[in-house]
Chain A
Amino acid sequence: MRNLKTFIQDFGWPRIIIFLFLIALFVFAPAVGVRLDASVSDVLNRFGQYAILVLAMVPMIQSGCGLNFGLALGIIAGLLGSTISLQLELRGFAGFFGAIALAAPFSLLLGWLYGKLLNKVKGEEMTIAMYVGFSFVMLMCIMWLVLPFNNPTMVWGFAGKGLRTTITVEGYWLHILNDFLAIKIGRFFIFPTGLLLFVGFCAFCMWVFLRSRTGTAMTAVGSNPDFARASGVSVDNMRTVSVIISTFLGAVGIIVYQQSFGFIQLYTAPSPMVFPAVAAILIGGANINKASMVNVLVGTFLFQGLLTMTPSVINSVLQTDMSEVIRMIVSNGMILYALTRKMKVAK
């Protein structure tokens, strides 16, 4: 009884409610005529789309930088990688991995600068990250208009310059991971093997990294920066490294998202990608200074499950689309809950 109580306290009511709600949705889905196999397939797919973006939250949380509201920077590095990959007419796996390789230097540079900045503003990281992200997104909006891309599938037809708001990756690397070894069962169920393998691979790499000397030091920095410093670890360097990794994972994450979704979304599109990633890891049980692989996987699954299932189930019941409102309340409520929980403030 006591164990159950402490478990609930640690896990938090909001998460339990979301979990039960999702189970209820799955249970009621067949009753209202929603196909379970199609739903599960959909959830798996969206899980794969978003998981790496959520994974990108881990290093910064572990190093005590808090929630990465500046994930937009990583996403933009990814956008640069994928647009350049398209410009170079790279196709298939070459295109996909080319995009990641091209995004790497950008994410390294942006992450390094961003990390340096965050070290100067300890204690205010989250608000500043948010606005640095927003203003960089706006700056890049101008860049997308003026950068000298000229692949006809990418630029506005009438002007011959300036990138389109959405660019299809069809014919380049659409579903390159999704279709790799995909298993099709029946008409509605597709198991995206390649996508999930890739997600698993990234999560494994992160797991290995966190068990290395640097990863251990990073965790210690987040857990108690004074302890880490007294043990000869450079707190600022560790934080910078964590920001760079987070930014790079953001880049990889958006490219994985694009190959599954089918489009590269430019201009103001990166901003709204950030909050769902933050909310997902919190729903998975992470808090502002501790996160694990389990939090990532559980959180992404719960959150995306919720987003997939509510429109179909609730809409069938109420004949109206409340998913947007539910998404807003759940994701922001979760972040709010995490922010107002009592914890020691990392300095």
Chain B
Amino acid sequence: MGNNEPLLSLKNVSKEFYGNVVLQDVSFDLHEGEILGLVGENGAGKTTLMRILFGMPVIAETGGFKGSICLDGQEVHFSTPFEALDAGIGMVHQEFSLIPGFTTAENIVLNRESMHPSLLNDVFGDRMSILDRPAIKKRAVGAIEKLGVKLDPGMLVSEMPVGHKQFTEIAREISRDKSRILVLDEPTAVLTESEAEVLLESLRRLAKEGVAIIFISHRLQEVVEVADRVVVLRDGLAVKDVPAKGLTIKDSASWMVGRSMAGDAAGAREVRKFDEEILSVEHLWVDMPGETVRDVSASVRKGEIFGIGGLAGQGKLGIPNGIMGLYPAGGKVKLHGRDIALNAPAKALKSGMSFVSEDRRGVGLLLDESLDWNIAFTAMQIHGQYLRPILGGIFTQRDEKGMESLCKEYIELLDIKCTSSRQKAKELSGGNQQKICLAKAFAMRPDLLFVSEPTRGIDVGAKKLVLDTLRKYNREYGTTIVMISSELEELRSICDRIAIIDEGKIAGILPPTADVADFGILMAGIGASEAAAAMAGQEANNA
């Protein structure tokens, strides 16, 4: 390992999106043959940092970034990802980027195929060259060998197990001529434990051959195991840059999620007691793409605000979506002790549950329709409200007046900024759209309200208003609220209990006053029992 001069160095990289600071003065170096673990919560700035490194057009379109990136001591400016690739930086994204009907070899050399020129080249250009299949195979086998895994170069991607797809992607990146830096974004998320072992092994092997690797993962165990150095990002700041040796999971977890313990608002909160069970969930699984729930059992008490947290992709969003019937689900769900049929949104709504979706624009709103439609629609369809009988009730018509007064009521109550109740939903700002979604759910007068990522993508002032509204609604009407959020602080500020979801299961349930490090450990993907052990150890230390 030649550690004299850094291969890649980031200096004071800052980035803001429309006045919103997402990265601030981030600096670190990467040396040849080094594995750098990059950890951080969702929204800590990992994705933005990688986008900057790769010269993604979205960065330039939103005003570029401050600071500099040096490769071999030379400052570089990539304006497209292809320039970054040419400079020897390869990236394996979370989403597979493979052609399903192509073989391993074809995918490894995709758009960089070995070719023989043909007669038509002079007329129609290089694309009329004939592919040199033996050479392609040779290159693919070379890359696979370098990776040190077993892959059949002739196998179709569509027939591969998921782990092989991941290896194919990595093989593609290292098969480039100058490939020197490899960025892996959550590469083990899709792998079995044994596959993950193999992957870590081959990463070490690549590092020995001089490839520098940036390894992004939420599984702190793996990071500590494989990385030489760990950089922790939090709220756009590189809060730690330390050697991995001797690093404990507990430390890194608390760096990852922790604010300063002293200024913790949650600590001073009242502790409420609840007895009666309103919702019980047993062995719930939900088939929601990207947010699979595997086996969740929990009980929610009447009148409480129950928080569900965890990192993106771990399944926390799948829980409300499954219970409300929006994605195929199984298991047992009981409200007030009565079974709720799954996979039937109408029944879930009729039973007294309501849901504010995280996908505001996709599921939450009728963007092309007016506000009164948006607010009254569900109540109309489920409870038959806002309909006017005509001709002695032979048929009914929309009660436009009733819808309008309902809409006005909520415009006032939630302080929704709009021109009138006839305005189209798509014309409102994100925060006001979110309030419309809340109004729609409130109009159902639910016993139990699911709110999913209620503050995502809205500004600070609106965030506070939304949270205050939820708290007020909970206190005044006694409505039980289950709030799902990626922002731990937000959950801690409003919830009575918080469950952390990891890999489709509940890793643990903590009071909001619990140590942030404990939350961090639950999110760190080391399994519930190990997490409990780690926490116990920590408590012993504290004592």
* A–B direct touch in complex (beta carbons closer than 8 A): yes
**In the bound complex, how far is the Cα of B349 from the Cα of A81, in angstroms?**
43
Residues B355-395 near A (CB distance < 8 A)? 355, 357, 359, 362-369, 373, 377-378, 380-382, 384, 387, 395
A232 to B359, CA, bound (A): 17
Does A212 sit at the interface, judged by CB under 8 A?
yes
Cross-chain contact of A229 among B326, B364, B377 (Cβ < 8 A): B326
**Contact status B364-A212, CB under 8 Å:** no
A208 at the interface (CB under 8 A from B): yes
Instruction: Please determine whether B324 and A230 come into contact, CB atoms closer than 8 angstroms.
Output: yes
A220 near B367: Cβ-Cβ < 8 Å: no
Q: Evaluate contact between B380 and A216: CB separation under 8 angstroms.
A: yes
Q: What chain A residues lie within 8 Å of B380 (beta carbons)?
A: 213, 216
Cα A227 to Cα B381 with chains together (Å): 12
Task: Note all chain B residues with C-beta closer than 8 A to A208.
Answer: 395, 397
Q: Which positions 125-140 of chain A face chain B at CB distance < 8 Å?
A: none
B346 on interface, CB distance cutoff 8 Å: yes
The distance from the CB of B257 to the nearest CB of chain A, in whole angstroms, is 31
- A230 pairs with B365, CB closer than 8 A: no
**Given the complex, which residues of B lie within 8 Å of A229, measured CB to CB?**
326, 345
A89: chain B residues at CB < 8 Å are none
> A232 to B364, Cβ gap below 8 A?
no
Q: Is B178 an interface residue (CB 8 A)?
A: no
Query: Which listed residue (B346, B355, B395) contacts A212, Cβ 8 A?
Result: B395
The answer to whether the Cβ of A319 comes within 8 Å of any Cβ in the partner chain is no
Given A230-B357, A231-B345, check contact A213 B396 (CB 8 Å): yes
Q: Is B66 an interface residue (CB 8 A)?
A: no
Residues of A with C-beta under 8 A to B363: 224, 226-227, 230
Q: How far is the CB of A228 from chain B (nearest CB, A)?
A: 8
Q: How many residues of chain A get a CB closer than 8 Å to chain B's CBs? A: 19
Chain B residues with Cβ below 8 Å from A219 are 369
B350 at interface, CB cutoff 8 A: yes
Q: Report whether B398 and A211 are in contact in the complex, using a CB–CB cutoff of 8 Å.
A: yes
B-facing mask of A218-249, CB < 8 A → 1, else 0? Answer: 01100110110111111000000000000000
> Shortest CB–CB separation between residue B344 and chain A, in angstroms?
8
In the complex, the answer to whether B349 meets A232 with C-beta atoms within 8 Å is: yes
A220/B346 in contact, CB under 8 A: no
Query: What's the minimum C-beta distance from B28 to chain A, rounded to whole angstroms?
Result: 41
Residue pair B366, A224 in contact (C-beta under 8 Å): yes
Indicate if the CB atoms of A231 and B326 lie closer than 8 Å. no
Asked if residues A220 and B366 are in contact (CB atoms below 8 Å), the reply is yes
- Contact among B347, B368, B398 for A223, CB-based, below 8 A: B368
Near A by CB (< 8 A), chain B positions 311-345 give 324, 326, 345
Question: Nearest Cβ in chain A — how far from B45, in angstroms?
Answer: 30
Residue pair A227, B365 in contact (C-beta under 8 Å):
yes
Beta-carbon nearest neighbor of A224 in chain B? B366
User: Can you list, as one digit per residue, whether each of A32-43 has a CB less than 8 Å from chain B (1) or not (0)?
Assistant: 000000000000
Q: Mark B177-204, 1 if CB is under 8 A from A, else 0.
A: 0000000000000000000000000000
The list of the 9 closest CB pairs from A to B, nearest first, reads A232-B346, A231-B378, A226-B363, A232-B349, A232-B345, A211-B398, A223-B366, A211-B397, A230-B363
A binding-site residues for B, Cβ under 8 Å = 208, 211-213, 216-217, 219-220, 223-224, 226-227, 229-234, 290
A selection of 9 A-B contacts at a CB cut-off of 8 Å is: A212-B395, A212-B396, A213-B384, A220-B369, A224-B365, A224-B368, A226-B326, A226-B362, A231-B345
